[in-house]
Amino acid sequence: MYRRHENIAALTAIRQKHEHCFYRAGILLFFITICFLFPFRLSAQSNKSVAGYTSQKSAPLLNCPSDLVICLTNSSSYTHTGTSLDANGLNDPGCGTPGTPTVTYTSSGNVQPASGTSLDNAVFGPGVTTITWTITDPCGNTETCSRSVAVYTEFTDAGSFDTSPETECSNYDPAPLSITGTTGGSGAYTYQWQLSNDNGASWNDIPGATSATYDPSSLNATGTYSYRSIVTDACKSIATGSKTISIVASPSVSISGTLAVCQNESTTLSANASGGSGSFVYQWQSSSDGGVTWTNIPGEDAQGFTPSTVNAGTYVYRVLATNNITSCNVATAVATLIVAPLPTVVISNPAAVCSPGTVNLTNVSITGGSTSGLTFTY
């Protein structure tokens, strides 16, 4: 702050001299010149002591301490010792009055005493306290400065989010992770989410994940994905708990068994499921339009299925394999079963013979069923 006091006496003298010069008619040019030169001489001396007035060209010099941050540990207040928080200074260089300046403080916030001349042994409570220092020199000139003392309780709770472990299938889109309940410390927190692919042995910052809520991207590759956040206040950083999501391969299923049989010949179709995690639930279905639409077969919900072969024909079956992980897809497989009709053998008009003669029965015809690989018995 700068204050400048004009020399009133000098200004009055200048004005009077000008009036004297302008209103004195008939004065020689020599005297007029002197009249105009003399005020400038006074003006050049206007920064010096004239008629009892002291010139003051600047404010007192005030040296203010730096802001201070205190992080409490197992304590509810901070007691400052020493003079490192005290301001000091010098008189206004233009002040001619002898003496030393006085330095005092006032405050707004949580400090005792709330005002005085030194903060030695002052007690600060939690919060931000503003200290305003004022220096006054013997001429009455002042200068002020303000600094803050921030006292924060110990930061011990980074907050929490859902850390329940999950096992999911490929292409899983996790739900957002949101931290709540962060308490203590300065009350202003920053966040940095991290990812580990080795069950927490090492962690890497996730670029851009710097808010209390993080929405992980879809997880496609199999493996483990662990998430946590580093929460930081003005004093220190604390890691939250972690959540691990295990990604397993999506389920697949195939059907095995004899797919070409004769009427009334038994066959069992078996579902062979893999991937996912844990057990599977099965449902067998049939289609009468070549696989366009499907109908559940009542009661056929086991891994094996024995279809009916009473009637010859072509039958299309499908199995649904559902894993106990809800994020996994339902695996399907289709099989076509051919049920061939039984062969019909006809012996046409064998020649008549007399006993003990013989009849040739090898000249037979097949009127039904398959003609491949037949054997005959009598």
What residue type is assigned to position 223 of the chain? G
CATH annotation of 155-248: 2.60.40.10
C-beta separation of 128 from 209 below 8 A: no
Distance spanning both ends of the chain, measured CA to CA: 130
Amino acid letter, residue 145: C
Q: What local confidence, expressed as pLDDT, does residue 39 receive? A: 35
178 Cβ contact list (under 8 Å, min separation 6): 161, 212, 213
Round to whole Å and give the CA distance between 184 and 153.
6
Would you write out the chain's pLDDT as a tens digit for each of its 378 residues? Answer: 323 333 333 333 333 433 443 333 333 333 333 333 333 333 333 333 333 334 444 689 999 999 999 999 999 999 999 999 999 999 988 888 899 999 999 999 999 999 999 999 999 999 999 999 999 999 999 999 999 999 999 999 999 999 999 999 999 999 999 999 999 999 999 999 999 999 999 999 999 999 999 999 999 999 999 999 999 999 999 999 999 999 999 999 999 999 999 999 999 999 999 999 989 999 999 999 999 999 999 999 999 999 999 999 999 999 999 999 989 999 999 999 999 998 877 766 667 778 777 766 665 666 666 556 666 666
pLDDT at residue 94 in the model: 84
Burial of 308 (0-12, 13-18, 19+ CB in 10 A): exposed
**For the chain, domain boundaries:** 61-152, 155-248, 251-340, 347-377
The 3-state DSSP class for residue 372 equals coil
Give the C-alpha separation, 292 to 334, whole Å.
Answer: 12
Asked if domains 61-152 and 251-340 share a fold, the reply is yes
Instruction: Give pLDDT, residue 75.
Output: 93
User: Can you give the pLDDT at residue 125?
Assistant: 97
Q: What is the pLDDT of residue 354?
A: 81
CATH number for the domain whose boundaries are 61-152: 2.60.40
Q: Which residue has the tokens 């662990």?
A: 226
Count of other CB atoms within 10 angstroms of residue 165? 11
CB-based contacts of 144, cutoff 8 Å, min separation 6? 1, 62, 132, 133, 134, 135
Q: Residue 115 is encoded by which pair of tokens?
A: 């005002």
Q: 251-340: which CATH architecture?
A: Sandwich (2.60)
